[in-house]
Amino acid sequence: MSVDPHPKYPHLLSPIDIGGVTLPNRVLMGSMHVGLEEEWGRLDKMAAYFEARAAGGVGLIVTGGVSPNLAGGVKPFAAKLSNFYEVWQHRVVTDAVHKAGGRIAMQILHAGRYAYLPWSVAPSAVKSPITPFKPKALSNRGVENTIRDYVNCAKKAQQAGYDGVEIMGSEGYLINQFIVKRTNKRTDDWGGSYENRIRFAVELVARTRKAVGDKFIIIYRLSMLDLVKDGSSWEEVIQLAKEIESAGASIINTGIGWHEARVPTIATMVPRAAYTWVTARLKGEVSIPLVTSNRINMPDTAEKVLSSGDADMVSMARPFLADPEWVNKANDDRADEINTCIACNQACLDLVFQNKRASCMVNPLACYETEVSLEPTTNPKTLAVVGAGPAGLAFATSAASRGHTVTLFEASEQIGGQFNMAKKIPGKEEFNETLRYFQKQIELTGVQVRLGTRANTEMLSSGFDAVVIATGVNPRKLKLPGIDHPKVLSYIDVLARNKAVGDSVAIIGAGGIGFDVAEYLTHQPETGDAIDQYLKVWGVDRRMSEPGGLMDHEDPPPARAITLCQRKQGKLGAGLGKTTGWIHRSALKKKNVTMLDQCQYERIDDDGLHLTVAGSPQTLAVDNIVICAGQTSQQELLAPLQAAGVDVHIIGGAFQAGELDARRAFDQGTRLAASI
Ligand code: FAD
Ligand code: NAP
Ligand code: SF4
């Protein structure tokens, strides 16, 4: 039966046959560890999480990594599948996905030397720079046993009802460690020549295929661009891909960069679809479908990638945390309703790296499907919300979606609060998508928005069953001699009021906003292709002339000379996100930003900023001093409303400014709406 192509996304939403299994579309939900895997009582939570994505129309789901044995887990008690008891556990997940009409493959991941385990193993005893333990080199028998464990794991996955497995051969995990010389120093049949180094990968796939039969999907995630010195050359990548195909893989998925690589590959400053050219190079070399990945988050981008022939399918992981309905919305021509993943990592990877459960900054329901629900209310109320920043928007639209009548007051002429400054930072353009999403949600849920209206106690004291204060923050005012000098600007002057800024600037405060202001003030407008510019700055070689794909980086000259200051002793930006702080620091270093810790600010005058740095007096002779010294809560409505007997709630920055970030604002707004 032939199906008419989708009018808007004819490639993305067309079916594809992979090794005898037909998928309804070209969308693969990429593997992502979310922390539910190891939680007690995880089964229902995991099942509900995957079921929602299957019901949302994903063509093929891939689970987070599951180890084939005890040595391969990423950390102690990591998810493993090697015995019958574990088969039974996985059944709950596969049944839920199939009931929702989906298909799911289980990723088999052996971490090798990346395991956070004292008993980790690897091809050779070469310690990784990102884990504290030196691995033990596998003996010849150890290698054979590990292959046997992979095959056993795949067979158990089949028994557990999975439609396939993904063999994780990228990001620097065990299989990758066998493939490249930097981690494989063996002199036996598993090391030395390239043929020997890829034997482990090829044997694994061949023996797995033999064990699971023809119809079971085998995805091989192949590291096409290692982004580490002495990685694989392009010729080697082609050879491996061909052998993996011959060994029986159904699809090849793209892996970009080892975990120890110092090139950002998925953070928000990476342009959309910045790496699909890598997959495109492999097209024509093999005949099985190729999946591409990295920073694809909206249907238009995905369609463009597929229609240009770069790949046969797209893999997206985080976008399905942000919106489980992504595919259905694209299919129904409702892409403007998609809650877009803005690639911030704040509520997903940053939490997983702290051994916490992942969620999503812009969708706090992700991974909490069984715990927080926006079911229709049985007790509709009339509610006022003051402030249309992230907290107020999340509350207002979620409460209205449940059937409450909501009026949202916003003092300025636009929704979004501080996100209107965040979106202006080079590399944070994705924040615009969140504002677009909420604007659409306002229309869909019928929230009545009163822009340009500064709500006061009188307006709020009657007519509402409850009032939610989401008024955000005020920038902290410093008590410093000369603080009113014309050289002094606040971050709001710079980002929202477009005040003129001179060529040399000192920034007081090196938190998230201090770093962002430094990025904004040093940025040279892009000329030419954004992807080319990004690859140049981070030293990624499109020609892949050297193994690993790295080259010398080329940094455009900074637009201004910046000195970034903090009072604390230690590395600047230590409090930034676990997975992104290093990127912000490297980016500013590339722009010659001077970073000073142990600063004591003395005064500001015509000569500039006078301070001591680690006890030594200095004067920074700068044109401007920009204050980014944190924020305080704006709570002036709270006490009067409480005194007037109003049922009042306070969320986001208004509730607490210290260590506030938008994650808490969205989360508090959504959870309050679920309970009110
Ligand atoms: P706000 O966003 O401050 O919104 C409060 C709103 O209330 C404002 O629109 C204000 O006009 C309105 N208001 C106040 N009083 C009244 C009144 N009486 N009547 C009507 N309306 C009123 N956070 C992150 O987590 N990640 C980031 O990457 C990030 N980047 C940032 C970059 C910049 C440049 C800036 C400035 C902030 C950034 N933040 C980031 C911080 C983040 O934006 C805030 O944590 C978040 O906006 C707080 O949300 P909120 O709703 O509590 O308050
Ligand atoms: P912040 O992260 O708390 O940083 C405030 C900075 O000001 C710190 O460097 C602090 O360091 C300094 N400071 C505090 N009190 C001071 C004082 N009295 N005098 C001089 N310096 C002082 O706050 P922020 O930068 O305003 O950011 C606000 C929120 O937005 C934060 O939650 C932040 O995480 C979030 N945000 C996140 C990102 C991101 O990329 N994830 C980006 C922007 C903003 P010292 O005390 O050592 O001087
Ligand atoms: Fe995307 Fe940020 Fe949500 Fe993670 S937390 S899924 S990066 S929007």
DSSP letters spanning 49-104? HHHHHHHTT-SEEEEEEEBSSGGG-SSTT--B--SHHHHHHHHHHHHHHHHTT--E
For ligand 1, the distance from its centroid to the CA atom of residue 496, given in whole angstroms, is: 12
Residue 266: pLDDT band (50, 70, 90) is very high
Residue identifier of the C-alpha nearest atom 13 of ligand 2 = 629
Residue identifier of the C-alpha nearest atom 30 of ligand 1 = 422
Residues 374-404 as b or e (16 or more Cβ within 10 Å = b): eeeeeeebebbbbbbbbbbbbbbbbbbbbeb
Q: Which of 348, 431, 583 to mutate to test the pocket of ligand 3 (most atoms within 8 A of CB)?
A: 348
Residue 2 or 523, more confident: 523
Q: Which of 431, 474, 513 to mutate to test the pocket of ligand 2 (most atoms within 8 A of CB)?
A: 513
* pTM of the full structure: 0.96
Residue identifier of the C-alpha nearest atom 33 of ligand 1 = 422
For ligand 3, the distance from its centroid to the CA atom of residue 322, given in whole angstroms, is: 6
Residue 2: pLDDT band (50, 70, 90) is low
User: What ligand 2 atom has the least distance to the C-alpha of 577?
Assistant: 41
For ligand 2, the distance from its centroid to the CA atom of residue 641, given in whole angstroms, is: 30
What is the mean pLDDT of the segment spanning 128-139?
95
Q: Is 629 in the pocket of ligand 2 (CB under 6 A)?
A: yes
For ligand 1, the distance from its centroid to the CA atom of residue 423, given in whole angstroms, is: 12
Digit-coded pLDDT (tens) for 35-89: 998 776 668 899 999 999 999 999 999 999 999 999 999 988 888 999 988 898 8
Could you tell me the CA-to-CA distances from 486 to 480, 501, 560, 625 in Å, in that order?
14, 11, 19, 9
Asked about 173 being catalytic, the answer comes back as yes
For ligand 1, the distance from its centroid to the CA atom of residue 495, given in whole angstroms, is: 13
Q: Is 345 in the pocket of ligand 2 (CB under 6 A)?
A: no
Residue identifier of the C-alpha nearest atom 12 of ligand 1 = 387
What is the mean pLDDT of the segment spanning 226-251?
97
User: What ligand 1 atom has the least distance to the C-alpha of 456?
Assistant: 18
What is the mean pLDDT of the segment spanning 367-386?
97
Q: Is 512 in the pocket of ligand 1 (CB under 6 A)?
A: yes
pLDDT value at residue 146 = 98
pLDDT value at residue 460 = 96
Digit-coded pLDDT (tens) for 199-225: 999 999 999 999 999 999 999 999 999
Q: Is 352 in the pocket of ligand 1 (CB under 6 A)?
A: no
Q: Is 343 in the pocket of ligand 3 (CB under 6 A)?
A: yes
For ligand 1, the distance from its centroid to the CA atom of residue 516, given in whole angstroms, is: 15
Distance in angstroms (rounded) separating the CA atoms of residues 221 and 239? 15
Strands lying side by side in the sheet with 599-605 = 599-605, 608-613, 616-620
Digit-coded pLDDT (tens) for 272-316: 999 999 999 999 999 999 999 999 999 999 999 999 999 999 999
Tokens at 535, concatenated: 């690859």
Q: Is 495 in the pocket of ligand 1 (CB under 6 A)?
A: yes
* Distance of alpha carbon 258 from the chain centroid: 16
For ligand 1, the distance from its centroid to the CA atom of residue 654, given in whole angstroms, is: 9
pLDDT at 525 exceeding the cut of 90: no
CB atoms within 10 A of CB 675: 9
CB atoms within 10 A of CB 552: 7
For ligand 2, the distance from its centroid to the CA atom of residue 554, given in whole angstroms, is: 30
pLDDT at 526 exceeding the cut of 80: no
Query: How confident is the prediction for the chain on average, in pLDDT?
Result: 96
pLDDT value at residue 660 = 54
Q: Which ligand is nearest to the CA of 474?
A: 1
Distance in angstroms (rounded) separating the CA atoms of residues 596 and 494? 21
For ligand 2, the distance from its centroid to the CA atom of residue 313, given in whole angstroms, is: 41
Residue 661: pLDDT band (50, 70, 90) is confident
Q: Which of 318, 349, 365 to mutate to test the pocket of ligand 3 (most atoms within 8 A of CB)?
A: 318
Beta carbons of 86 and 43 less than 8 angstroms apart: no
pLDDT at 655 exceeding the cut of 60: yes
Residue identifier of the C-alpha nearest atom 38 of ligand 2 = 512
Q: Is 519 in the pocket of ligand 2 (CB under 6 A)?
A: no
What is the mean pLDDT of the segment spanning 78-103?
93
From the list 227, 258, 260, 255, the residue with the least C-alpha distance to 241 is 255
Ramachandran angles phi, psi of 487, nearest 5°: -70, -20
Q: Which ligand is nearest to the CA of 326?
A: 3
Per annotation, catalytic residue among 49, 114, 162, 173: 173
Digit-coded pLDDT (tens) for 246-261: 999 999 999 999 999 9
Q: Is 67 in the pocket of ligand 2 (CB under 6 A)?
A: no
Residue identifier of the C-alpha nearest atom 7 of ligand 2 = 629
The percent of residues above 90 in pLDDT, for the chain, comes to 93
User: What ligand 3 atom has the least distance to the C-alpha of 321?
Assistant: 6
Residue 659: pLDDT band (50, 70, 90) is low
Distance in angstroms (rounded) separating the CA atoms of residues 273 and 30? 15
Q: Is 472 in the pocket of ligand 1 (CB under 6 A)?
A: yes
Could you tell me the CA-to-CA distances from 449 to 6, 133, 584 in Å, in that order?
35, 55, 36
